[in-house]
């Protein structure tokens, strides 16, 4: 019996306090009037074509470079043969296409690495380091 009385009192008291708080004047002054806001019309425009904003290498390692709109989101941190030369190339978005751009340093690095050979991976990486 006491619980239902307390619940009834709380259910009536809480809304009354909320309504009173919304309609009472702030301390030390009257309720300011609200001026109507003027909406500025927004002109309709033709939406831009939905192009992928991303342009990047489609592979993570090596000299087999290609660019596209879906580059890998995660790559391994393991160094692979040819990774050194990747610093001299990049992907660029031009005329709504993603294109590979190579520099003269990339071509020089790539031709130097092509001369590295041998069966021992340590020997190959040592040669690449000198390029």
Predicted pLDDT at 18: 45
pLDDT in tens, 9-58: 444 544 444 455 555 555 665 655 555 556 555 455 554 445 557 899 99
N-to-C CA span, the chain: 90
Predicted pLDDT at 30: 60
Contact 113, 125 (CB under 8 A): no
Higher pLDDT, 48 or 84: 84
pLDDT in tens, 59-82: 999 999 999 999 999 999 999 989
Predicted pLDDT at 38: 61
Report the DSSP pairing between strands 56-57 and 67-68: antiparallel
Predicted pLDDT at 94: 84
Predicted pLDDT at 98: 93
Helix (H) or strand (E) holding 9: helix 2-23
Predicted pLDDT at 54: 86
């Amino acid at each position: 019996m006491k619980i239902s009385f307390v619940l009834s009192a709380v259910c009536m008291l809480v809304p009354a306090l909320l309504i009173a708080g919304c309609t009472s004047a702030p301390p030390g002054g009257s309720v300011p009037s609200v001026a109507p806001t003027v909406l500025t019309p927004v002109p309709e425009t033709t939406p831009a074509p939905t192009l992928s904003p991303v342009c990047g290498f489609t592979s993570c390692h090596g000299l087999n470079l290609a660019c596209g709109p879906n580059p890998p989101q995660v790559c391994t941190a393991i160094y692979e043969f040819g990774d050194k030369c990747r610093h001299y190339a990049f992907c660029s978005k031009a005329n709504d296409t993603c294109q590979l751009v190579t520099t003269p340093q990339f071509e020089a690095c790539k031709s130097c690495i092509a001369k590295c050979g041998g069966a021992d991976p340590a020997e190959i990486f040592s040669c690449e380091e000198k390029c």
